Structure 1
Amino acid sequence: MELGTAVTTVKGDPITVADVILHLKAKGTFRTAIYEIIERRVVEYKLEEQGVRVTQAEIDERVRSRKNTLALWDAKTFDAYLKHFGLSLEQWLDTIAADMRRERLRDIIVTKELVQAHYRQNSARHTCVSIARIACRTKADAERALAAVGERQADFVELARMYSVDDNTKLAGGYIGNLKRGMLPAEVDERAFTCADNEIIGPFSENGLWTIYKIYSRTVTKLNEALGKQIKDQIFEEWLRHQVCVAPA
C-alpha cells in the first residue's frame, strides 16, 4: 500500500495512508504502534526458538469462540464487522493467531513458581488497609479530635461525624474503605502500612486540610486466580519489553 493510497473519502476528498501516519505521529501514538509491531515479531521469533507453534486446530477453535462471544453467527454480520474495522478475513485471523502466540509464549516464560516467588517478594504490594479519616479545616481541630480519641472521650466514628468536613465520608464515621499502597499521600501511606491495627495517626497536612486516620486492620490479598493472572501478565510484560530492547535489528 503506497503512501498516497486512499483509505477512505469525505465528500470525495481522499484520506490517504500518509494522512493516517501523520495523524498518528501528531497524536503521539505512531511510536506505540511501531513498538507493538516489533513486539509481535519478537514473540514469533521467541516461539520459534522454543520450538513451539500454535496449531491450526487451536486457531480454528479460538475463532469459533471469538465469533460466539461477538455474536458473529452469520456471514452478513461477520462481513459487516470486518468492514467496520477495515480488516480482511486474513488480517482478522492473523490478529487472533498473534494473540494466541503471545499467550503461549507467556505460559512458557512465566511459570507457576515465578508467580509464587514474585508474590512472596512483593507481598507489600498486595496488602490493604481498612482505614477511616477525619478531615478538619484547621490543625487545632485535628489535634482536638486526636486528643479526644487518645483520652477515650469519644470513639473515632463519633468524632468523624462531629469534626470532619468531608461530606462523602463523615456520615459513615470517616470510613474510606480498603486501600492498597500508593493510594494515600506518601507520608500517610508510609505510616498507615507500618502502624499497628486500630492505631490513630496524624495530623497530616493535605490539600489545605488537616487529617487524622484510623487504621482498623491490614490484610494481605491471597494469591488467587485473578491476582495470579495479574502477576503473570506483569512479569511477562517486563520480560518482553527487555527482549524487544535487545532484539537485533
Structure 2
Amino acid sequence: MDTATVIAFRIDHKTMTLKQLLQRLRVDASSAAMSRCKDDLTTECWAETLGLAADTAELQSVVTRFRRENGLFTAAQAAEWLESRGMALNDLVDLLRPQVLREALARHVVSADEIRRHFLEFAHEYDRAEISTIVMGEYGAAQELLFRLEEGSDFHALAREYSSDAATAKSGGYVGPISRTDLEPEIAAAVFNATEGTVLGPFERRRDYSLILVEGLYPAELNEAVGASIREKLFQYELEAYRRTLDIHEDLWSIGEG
C-alpha cells in the first residue's frame, strides 16, 4: 500500500494522506489525534477561503522554535531526525503551517472589541489567587493545626511537617496561582472573598480536610496573556462553527474494507 496516496482524512478539497498521518505519529502522537487533524485541515480550508497565507517569517520562526525544543541545533541533527521519521524538511513545514495559519485566522476573525466584551461579561473567570494548603486525614487534626496557626505558628513549617499532600508538602504547602474553576464552588467563594494572609478551613474533600492560606489575590485584568486566552477560546468557537459547514470524510476507517 502506497501511504503517500492513501487518503486518511478529507475536508472539502483538503486532504491528509496516511503517510502524513504516520509522520505526525512519529513526531508527536497528539498531533495525530483525529480532532487535531480535523482542526488543521479546517484551518487550511478557512484560511484559503479568506485569502490568508502563512507569513514566511512567522513560519520560519515556528520551525526554528520546533528545532530548538527538540534539540536540533545543527543542520546535521535536523537532517538525521527527519530521516529517522521518514520526512523531508518540507513535510515538517507542512505539519507546522496550520499553527501559523491558526494565529493569522484568529487575529482576522476575532476582534479586539469582541475580546473586551467577553472579558467584561466573564471577568470573574479570570480572577487569580495564590494559595498554600495543608491536607490532613482527620477533621480534629486539621482543627488542631488551625488553633496553632491562630496562636502564631508558621503555616509553611506546619505544612512541611504534617501535610499529607505529597505534591505540595515539601514546598511548605505552596500550590501557586489558581483560578476559581480550579476549586470547588464553596472553597472558591471563600478564597476569592478573603483577604491576603487569611487561613481558611478546614474544608472537607474526599475524606481529607484542608486548610488554605490565601497568599495573594489578583483580580482579573485584561492583559496580553488574558487577551490571548480569550482570543483562542472565541476562535475555537468560530472554527467549530465553520467546520460544520464543510464536507468531512474520514477515509481512514474504510481502508482495508471491501
Quick check: 125-134 or 99-108, which moved more? Answer: 125-134
User: What is the distance in 2 between the residues matched to 1:61 and 1:177?
Assistant: 33
Q: CA deviation at 1:162?
A: 9.6
Residues 136 and 164, structure 1, Cα contact 8 Å, conserved in 2: no
User: What is the distance in 1 between the residues matched to 2:80 and 2:32?
Assistant: 30
User: What is the distance in 2 between the residues matched to 1:79 and 1:173?
Assistant: 46
Letter in 2 for 1:228: G
Map of 1:111 onto structure 2: 111
User: What is the distance in 1 between the residues matched to 2:111 and 2:240?
Assistant: 18
Residues 156 and 173, structure 1, Cα contact 8 Å, conserved in 2: no
Is 1:238 the counterpart of 2:228 in the alignment? no
Q: TM-score, normalised by structure 1?
A: 0.64
User: What is the distance in 2 between the residues matched to 1:244 and 1:140?
Assistant: 55
- Runs of 4+ that moved beyond 6 A: 28-31, 167-173
User: What is the distance in 1 between the residues matched to 2:171 and 2:64?
Assistant: 46
Is 1:165 the counterpart of 2:166 in the alignment? no
Q: CA deviation at 1:206?
A: 3.3
Query: Where does 1:123-202 land on structure 2 (aligned, <5 Å)?
Result: 123-146=123-146, 154-155=151-152, 157=154, 161=158, 165-166=162-163, 176-202=175-201
Q: CA deviation at 1:127?
A: 1.7
Residues 131 and 213, structure 2, Cα contact 8 Å, conserved in 1: yes
Letter in 2 for 1:157: D
Map of 1:14 onto structure 2: none
Residues 131 and 216, structure 2, Cα contact 8 Å, conserved in 1: yes
User: What is the distance in 1 between the residues matched to 2:156 and 2:80?
Assistant: 61
Residues 136 and 163, structure 1, Cα contact 8 Å, conserved in 2: no
User: What is the distance in 2 between the residues matched to 1:183 and 1:97?
Assistant: 33
Residues 134 and 159, structure 2, Cα contact 8 Å, conserved in 1: no
Q: CA RMSD in A?
A: 4.3
Letter in 1 for 2:180: R
Residues 132 and 176, structure 1, Cα contact 8 Å, conserved in 2: yes
Map of 1:228 onto structure 2: 227
Letter in 2 for 1:105: L
Q: Which is greater in Rg? A: 1
Residues 159 and 172, structure 2, Cα contact 8 Å, conserved in 1: no
Q: TM-score, normalised by structure 2?
A: 0.62
Between the two proteins, what is the percent identity of the paired residues? 18
Residues 160 and 170, structure 2, Cα contact 8 Å, conserved in 1: no
* TM-aligned CA distance change 1:77 to 1:140, over 3 Å: closer
User: What is the distance in 1 between the residues matched to 2:80 and 2:158?
Assistant: 57
- State the Cα deviation string for residues 137-181 of structure 1 (Å, max 9, x = none): 4323434454666xx6x1363697399721776798755443322
User: What is the distance in 2 between the residues matched to 1:68 and 1:216?
Assistant: 35
SS state at 1:130 partner: strand
Query: Where does 1:1-249 land on structure 2 (aligned, <5 Å)?
Result: 2=2, 32-33=33-34, 35-54=35-54, 58-59=55-56, 62-63=59-60, 66=63, 70=67, 74=75, 78-146=78-146, 154-155=151-152, 157=154, 161=158, 165-166=162-163, 176-220=175-219, 222-249=221-248
